[in-house]
Chains A and B, each alone.
Chain A
């Protein structure tokens, strides 16, 4: 299978190490992965802010760039969810839409398609797992705490393949961190308060790291933690999985 690697704009610009880890891990698993050049943004920030028509040209570009791959894999649950759930509607009548069926977040991909079962990297630390909203309630990475369903957590399953790791979850395990894209700059007070509360809950687990499948949540919480003078560290799940490889 041919995999196209999609590196979202903010991962590209702010957390390239997450992109690097993703690429390295997929190659380590002997997968045929290509990073098409000249990628930019999936359009989610504009769409969530209320200007989804601005996302259409980006969606068309995305389609053209990725349609020949069997899977499009991205280290971002929010971008993946956005493409999967919105591209068919945005492109209807304008452009064919194949990528919404092919796009997968890298955690989903590793868990459900590759079905990774071998030991991965080494990370002998206690980590507090951040269950990003789009991951929980749109991509089904874990069972939503609101619903009466058999509990599962794909992120946790993968993390257990890492040597030495101790994975814990905070209280209110899937309460939103408060980023919400434009929400963070439009409703700064509530966004910050939600972030402060979430970071506090993660810290209360005694973990040294906060990890999750979406850099936007991590970016938001890290910015808040640093401003609050908290020294808890942040790592994307993929960085931990690839740790030491």
Chain B
């Protein structure tokens, strides 16, 4: 009885040393988040406000998007609207080719990952250089991100050292993280200086002013926009928020929740093109969002600010890693967004949850992640992706529990299982026996014992 996730997770766990390290690493990020949360008396109040701001904004988003675009255009920014991933890629390519761009540097953007922009541009002869160190590492390694905030977390310093020896001509055998970071700095510095365009994502778009706000620790969004002559900002519709008062709430929570820091090093507001550059472009991307708002049980996933804290706290993510999930975003939010994106394709992730609800308890915007996963499970049968063995087991249980005489018979006989030879119970047909020693069934179930107690 397996799913795409359970099979991948099983492989992941075969390397016990690595799995332990992975679990400990993310738990420590969760612990840092805890320290931040306990350090602010207003933490739970902020979560409630953040959730309420998002619910308001998302259900009035058409108005805020209009306001945002109008104000951005007043600032001289060129605003584009992309209905889907393909249109987004086309718009980007259009802008770049009309400016004869050969190389573009970009800061982190999960949205561009969602739209698969890099391969689209590369196929058309435009070099795309990731400048977030984690993203750059996996780009050089031709891998996908395994986490939305720490995309290269699955690699250790030796992996990176060997990669840099090959790709950046770094000193052989020197795998010290400080040295490797410095090598990347030099290499990327050259890219910033020679790029024709810079692309950023957007953590937030401010409707009242038309600002794009980008939060980084490395300063790579600022470097990407300080030297090249063109700035393109890619932003998902749901990232637009009303005003600075709202921004304060989210800015304070984003990094505390995501990495356990009180702030990112840089919180940058891009309002107009640089005085010595060409235009600034903003591309607003729909790609399903205008549909998801209509889903009565799952629209709240749009509240997500992509902090990553749900993954860090998820005991299943920690023990299976980002690559065990079929969607490019893993963990609790990934399960939910994947199902919104393509429920048949990503049904195999829905098993990756014990419904412990830790994710719901950390989420800074109170997305009801666990509750939604429970609801997705109810729909798998309708999607045709319910596990047939699980379905059979459930039907079996229904029969058993609905017929008292059958139930009583089963519980009365259960203790016979105690004397069955091991091979009968401990085999591939009994998944419980994989990790557990079978329990001893008592001779008498409670409903028999109570008769004696009552006398």
* In the complex, A touching B (Cβ < 8 A): yes
**Chain A binding site: helix, strand, loop or mixed by DSSP?**
helix
Please report the number of residue pairs spanning A and B whose Cβ atoms sit closer than 8 angstroms.
218
Across the interface, A14 reaches (CB within 8 A) one of B44, B397, B437, B442, namely B442
Indicate whether B120 reaches chain A with its CB closer than 8 angstroms.
no
Q: Are A148 and B38 in contact (CB under 8 A)?
A: yes
Q: Which residue of A lies closest to B391 (CB)?
A: A51
Chain A contacts for B404, CB-based, 8 A: 38, 40
Q: Are A16 and B442 in contact (CB under 8 A)?
A: yes
Indicate whether A146 reaches chain B with its CB closer than 8 angstroms.
yes
Q: How far is the CA of A192 from the CA of B378 in the complex (A)?
A: 25
* B1-51 residues at the A interface, CB under 8 angstroms: 1-3, 5-6, 9-10, 13, 19, 23, 27, 34, 37-38, 40-41, 43-44
Indicate whether A186 reaches chain B with its CB closer than 8 angstroms.
yes
Chain B contacts for A149, CB-based, 8 A: 44
Q: Are B401 and A40 in contact (CB under 8 A)?
A: yes
Q: Are B19 and A185 in contact (CB under 8 A)?
A: no
7 pairs, A vs B, C-beta closer than 8 Å = A15-B442, A43-B401, A50-B381, A148-B41, A181-B355, A187-B3, A189-B6
Task: Return A136 CB to nearest CB of chain B, in Å.
Answer: 8
Q: Are A185 and B1 in contact (CB under 8 A)?
A: yes
Q: Which residue of A lies closest to B9 (CB)?
A: A190
Give the interface segment out of B82-90, B184-192, B315-323. B315-323
Q: Are B449 and A58 in contact (CB under 8 A)?
A: no
**Chain B binding site: helix, strand, loop or mixed by DSSP?**
helix
Q: Are A223 and B401 in contact (CB under 8 A)?
A: no
Indicate whether B153 reaches chain A with its CB closer than 8 angstroms.
no
Q: How far is the CA of A52 from the CA of B316 in the complex (A)?
A: 23
Q: Are B435 and A19 in contact (CB under 8 A)?
A: no
Q: Are B442 and A180 in contact (CB under 8 A)?
A: no
Q: How far is the CA of A57 from the CA of B401 in the complex (A)?
A: 10
Q: Which residue of A lies closest to B411 (CB)?
A: A13
Q: Which residue of A lies closest to B371 (CB)?
A: A85
Q: How far is the CA of A46 from the CA of B360 in the complex (A)?
A: 22
Q: Are B377 and A178 in contact (CB under 8 A)?
A: no
Contact string against A for B residues 395-416, beta-carbon threshold 8 Å, 1 for contact and 0 otherwise: 1011011101001001100100
Q: How far is the CA of A94 from the CA of B2 in the complex (A)?
A: 34
Indicate whether A95 reaches chain B with its CB closer than 8 angstroms.
no
Q: Are B354 and A179 in contact (CB under 8 A)?
A: yes
Chain A contacts for B5, CB-based, 8 A: 187
Indicate whether B77 reaches chain A with its CB closer than 8 angstroms.
no
Chain B contacts for A189, CB-based, 8 A: 6, 9-10, 13
Chain B contacts for A48, CB-based, 8 A: 355, 374, 377
Indicate whether A91 reaches chain B with its CB closer than 8 angstroms.
no
Chain B contacts for A52, CB-based, 8 A: 378
